[in-house]
Amino acid sequence: MAARGRLRRIGQRGLGAGVALWLAATLGFLCLRLAPGDPARPGDPTVPAAHSAALERLYGLDRTLAAQYRAWMGSLLRGDLGWSFHYRRPVSQVIAAAVPPTLVLAALALTLQYGAALTLAVAACRGRRLRRSFDLATTVLYAMPTFWLGLLALRWFGHSLGWFPTFGASSLATSTWWPWWADWLRHASLPAAALALANLGLVYRLTSTALTEALEAPYTLAARARGLSERRLLWRHALRNAAPTAVHRLGLDLPGVLSGTLILEVLFSRPGLGRVAHQAFLARDFPVLATVTTAAGALVILGSLLSDLAHSALDPRVDHG
């Protein structure tokens, strides 16, 4: 019965994720189609009207909004994402090349963010003065926009000190894996650190609060009375009970991390969904923009679903609640 109930809950969450993805795709399509601008009429008076009309017929822009939506949704369900106006190749190829760099940068930023938050939360348990200092620093960081931290990182550590590259994903043409990965990590460190710092504050506060509550719980007080060391209490008991809070927060952080990744890709001129979306926006490339919106929504929804399932596995009270 328990296994059947868990499968039913997984099915319900999967159905909810599917509905959320459909809503994201629909809203993305409508917002882009209703926005000002027309890729067939770039505003250049030298472009003949017959040429613009031919482009509208070629890309189906002369049809009604409902007809365009039905055609696009049907193509999306078939896996046919259309043809890019700007890149002059299938949208699926454009997105397939852009998704991996974005995912890797977001994963690196999340690793730095949660590693730093956990380190600060554990250190804050050792004294009230440290906790106040960390609370103040993380609150200031949380108040700063992601793009502002990215600009500061570019200005100080990129241009002024010259410690990190300021654009691109790699500057080596070698195929040897270790030099290439080292160079890639050097290029990715600055945007990943800026993104991690922008989202560090809230994760630290939640983790620190969960650790404090766990250390003051009755079972912890009983273990301390039996002579268990503070280090063992922290690492073996408190962290285990604070883990579901951090995992649940991961699902809520994904939209902010992904949007920050897209912004920093443009700021640091890195390949990925952000740069593709920026160039497609300037060119009014509707098929690419709609697909990028849908792909970003799918990544966030899938990550939130996996985080929800992991939270349920770590804390059975979520399912039984």
pLDDT of residue 120: 84
* Mean pLDDT, residues 288-310 taken together: 76
Tell how many helices (H) and how many strands (E) occur in the chain: 14, 0
pLDDT of residue 172: 63
CA distance 27 to 49: 30
Q: What is the DSSP letter of 79?
A: T
In terms of Cα–Cα distance, which of 89, 133, 12, 124 is closest to 285? 89
In a domain, 51, yes or no: no
What domain count does the chain have?
A: 1
* Mean pLDDT, residues 218-226 taken together: 73
Handedness of CA 22, 28, 33, 39 (dihedral sign): negative
* Mean pLDDT, residues 237-265 taken together: 73
In terms of Cα–Cα distance, which of 314, 194, 296, 306 is closest to 250? 306
Q: Which amino acid is at 200?
A: L
In a domain, 293, yes or no: yes
CA distance 203 to 248: 10
Between 303 and 186, the more confident residue is 186
In a domain, 47, yes or no: no
In a domain, 15, yes or no: yes
Indicate if the pLDDT at residue 2 is higher than 60. no
Predicted confidence (pLDDT) per residue in 110-129, tens digit = 888 888 888 888 887 777 78
Do the beta carbons of residue 211 and residue 234 sit within 8 Å? yes
In a domain, 45, yes or no: no
In a domain, 302, yes or no: yes
What range does the domain containing 243 cover?
A: 2-40+62-320
pLDDT of residue 321: 46
Predicted confidence (pLDDT) per residue in 8-27, tens digit = 776 777 787 788 888 888 88
pLDDT of residue 80: 76
Q: What is the pTM of this model?
A: 0.73
In a domain, 46, yes or no: no
Model confidence band, residue 214 (pLDDT cutoffs 50, 70, 90): confident
CA distance 275 to 265: 6
Mean pLDDT for the chain? 76
Indicate if the pLDDT at residue 153 is higher than 80. yes
pLDDT of residue 318: 53
CA dihedral 299, 110, 186, 141 (to 10 degrees): 120
**Residue 267: which CATH number?**
1.10.3720.10
Predicted confidence (pLDDT) per residue in 170-196, tens digit = 666 656 666 767 777 888 888 888 888
In a domain, 49, yes or no: no
Model confidence band, residue 315 (pLDDT cutoffs 50, 70, 90): low
Between 95 and 173, the more confident residue is 95
Q: Is 17 exposed, middle or buried (0-12, 13-18, 19+ CB in 10 A)?
A: middle
